[in-house]
Amino acid sequence: MDDQTRMMTGLTGLGGLQQADVGDPDSVRKQQSLGQPQQDIGDILQQIMAITDESLDEAQARKHALNCHRMKPALFSVLCEIKEKTVLSIRGVQEEDPPDPQIMRLDNMLLAEGVSGPEKGGGSAAAAAAAAAAGGSPTDSSIEHSDYRAKLAQIRQIYHSELEKYEQACSEFTNHVMNLLREQSRTRPISPKEIERMVAIIHRKFSSIQMQLKQSTCEAVMILRSRFLDARRKRRNFNKQATEVLNEYFYSHLSNPYPSEEAKEELAKKCGITVSQVSNWFGNKRIRYKKNIGKFQEEANLYAVKTAVDAANVSAQASQANSPATPNSGGYPAPCYTPDGRL
């Protein structure tokens, strides 16, 4: 309390007011009735007006004098301390912001989609696999695939250029503010901590802008993906040669039509489709064959004959029996057919 009174005394003294004027309301009322305060205010106003009349040199000189005052550093440090204790402690509560879970989620998603990661990231690889699984002839799927990739690359490019812009703007603005504060710290009590805090505030503001960018990028990718997934449902029949290869394998392994992983890979390669497409095909084929064997008899006979002929050719060429057909031993029911190929 005593300190405060002393400070007040010093400060009011500058304005031409006496301590009694402040401390005693009665005397203030007395003086008001006498017209004294008006005159004091007039003096103060005149002083203020006089400042504007001072030349720049004079003002600079005064500033310089103030800066060189022996008490200045001590006074500054005291003021900084007071500021830190009051202003900073009040705002300090809201300062600790935990790592934003939303921005982390967005980051993870953008990384997974291959937007924010390295160029040929997991996202495009996943897209490639999905596009390949889209079925149809390889040319068609590659068209869809490249379309998707192109659009994703576009999103990626926009995202990165925007991000770069924001980062640049952020660092430029931060530098500007820091320079300004450092400059001002010569005449105003600004502690380094305060500058730090200001920088943190700026970064927070910019990161919220960044979050908006990330959010809209995520939305764009989601829309693209959903469109792509819709397109994936647009099924194309496999070409004749592929169906033939698959059927040949199926009917020649009718007792156990479950190709191993290696066999699936081989078939996929031969047919120009993916392993999962091969799995789908065999899944569908097994269930449909089992459900309606009669319907598939003709097809089964056809491929049985075909396999037999091929086997005969191979054995004739290699003069060694090497039939790919496995004997039918209690798997799926084999078709019964007459020698002329009829049921």
Partner DNA sequence: GTATATGATTGACT
Partner DNA sequence: AGTCAATCATATAC
Quick check: 176 binds DNA (CB under 7 A)? no
Alpha-carbon span 158 to 141, nearest angstrom: 26
Q: Could you tell me which of 45, 10, 42 has the C-alpha nearest to residue 18?
A: 10
Dihedral class, residue 114 (left if φ above 0, else alpha if ψ from -120 to 50, else beta): left
Report residue 269 as tokens. Answer: 């390669």
Q: Could you tell me which of 16, 53, 45 has the C-alpha nearest to residue 31?
A: 16
Quick check: 277 binds DNA (CB under 7 A)? yes
Quick check: 290 binds DNA (CB under 7 A)? yes
CB of 246 to DNA, least distance (A): 8
Q: Which residues 6+ apart lie within 8 Å of 291 measured at CB?
A: none
Binding characters for DNA, 135-174, by CB under 7 A (x = yes): x---------------------------------------
Q: Could you tell me which of 264, 226, 224, 227 has the C-alpha nearest to residue 245?
A: 264
CB of 127 to DNA, least distance (A): 13
Among 24, 186, 258, 313, binds DNA (CB under 7 A): 258
Q: Could you tell me which of 232, 204, 211 has the C-alpha nearest to residue 110?
A: 211
CB of 155 to DNA, least distance (A): 22
CB of 286 to DNA, least distance (A): 4
Quick check: 286 binds DNA (CB under 7 A)? yes
Torsion of CA 206, 208, 214, 216, to 10 degrees: -110
Among 39, 146, 284, 315, binds DNA (CB under 7 A): 284
Quick check: 295 binds DNA (CB under 7 A)? yes
Is the Cβ–Cβ distance between 193 and 88 less than 8 Å? yes
Among 10, 55, 97, 233, binds DNA (CB under 7 A): 233
Give the range of 43-51, 66-74, 129-137, 193-201 binding DNA by CB under 7 A. Answer: 129-137
Question: Mind spelling out the 3-state secondary structure of 24-77?
Answer: CHHHHHHHHHHCHHHHHHHHHHHHHHHHHHCCHHHHHHHHHHHHHCCCHHHHHH
Among 3, 26, 57, 261, binds DNA (CB under 7 A): 261
Residue nearer to DNA on the CB measure, 203 or 270:
270
Quick check: 281 binds DNA (CB under 7 A)? yes
Quick check: 279 binds DNA (CB under 7 A)? yes
CB of 311 to DNA, least distance (A): 25
Alpha-carbon span 76 to 68, nearest angstrom: 12
Applying CB under 7 A, what is the total number of residues that bind DNA? 27
Dihedral class, residue 230 (left if φ above 0, else alpha if ψ from -120 to 50, else beta): alpha
Among 150, 234, 241, 313, binds DNA (CB under 7 A): 234
Please, which of residues 237-256 interact with DNA by CB under 7 A?
237-238, 243
> What are the CA-CA distances from residue 320 to residues 119, 312, 316 (Å)?
53, 10, 7
Give the range of 111-119, 130-138, 169-177, 181-189 binding DNA by CB under 7 A. Answer: 130-138
- Binding residues for DNA, rule: CB under 7 A, are 133-135, 229-230, 232-238, 243, 258, 261, 277, 279-284, 286-288, 290, 295
